[in-house]
Amino acid sequence: MIAVFIAGATAMVLSLLGTKGVITFFRNKGKGQPILGKEDLGPEHHMSKQGTPTMGGIAIIIAALIGWLAAHVLRDGIAFSDQAMIIWVTILVMAVMGFLDDYMKVVKSHNRGILWKKKGYITLGLAVICLTWLTMSTGVSRTLSFTRADSPGWELPWWVWVIWTAIMVWSTANAVNVTDGLDGLAAGSGVFGFLAFTVISYWAFRNPDLYNLVNPLDLAVLSAAFAGACGGFLWYNAAPAKVFMGDVGALGIGAALGMLGVSTNTHLLLPLICGINVIEAGSVAIQMGVFKASGRKRRLFKMSPVHHHFELSGWPETTVIIRFWIIQGICVATALALFIGDFTNQVR
Distance CA 208, CA 236 (A): 39
pLDDT for residue 31 is more than 90: no
pLDDT tens for 88-107 read 999 999 999 999 888 887 77
- 58-67, 146-155, 162-171, 223-232: which has the minimum mean pLDDT? 146-155
pLDDT tens for 134-160 read 999 988 999 999 999 888 888 999 999
Distance CA 84, CA 57 (A): 20
CA 35 vs. chain centroid, Å, equals 22
Residue 54 makes CB contacts below 8 A (sequence gap 6+) with: 26, 32, 33, 102, 105, 106, 243, 244, 245, 246
Share of the chain above pLDDT 90, in %: 66
**Does residue 322 fall inside a structural domain?**
no
**Does residue 70 fall inside a structural domain?**
yes
pLDDT tens for 238-249 read 989 899 998 999
Q: What DSSP designation does 146 have?
A: E
Distance CA 228, CA 177 (A): 19
**Does residue 255 fall inside a structural domain?**
yes
**Does residue 304 fall inside a structural domain?**
no
Distance CA 293, CA 290 (A): 5
Residue 184 makes CB contacts below 8 A (sequence gap 6+) with: 234, 237, 238, 239, 241, 321
- 155-169, 205-219, 325-339: which has the minimum mean pLDDT? 205-219
Distance CA 93, CA 101 (A): 13
Sorting pLDDT into bands at 50, 70 and 90, what band is 117?
A: low
Please count the structural domains in the chain: 1
Residue 76 makes CB contacts below 8 A (sequence gap 6+) with: none
pLDDT for residue 40 is more than 90: no
Q: Give the residues across from 180 on adjacent strands.
A: none
pLDDT for position 114: 53
**Does residue 267 fall inside a structural domain?**
yes
pLDDT for position 51: 62
Instruction: Check if the beta carbon of residue 74 is closer than 8 Å to that of residue 34.
Output: no
pLDDT for position 103: 82
**Does residue 296 fall inside a structural domain?**
no
Return the ∠ at Cα 278 (arms to 302 and 169), rounded to 5°.
135
pLDDT for position 249: 94
User: Terminus-to-terminus CA distance in the chain, angstroms?
Assistant: 25
* Average model confidence (pLDDT) across the chain: 89
**Does residue 210 fall inside a structural domain?**
yes
**Does residue 329 fall inside a structural domain?**
no
Owning domain of residue 85: 2-271
Closest CA to 127 of 262, 285, 270, 277: 262
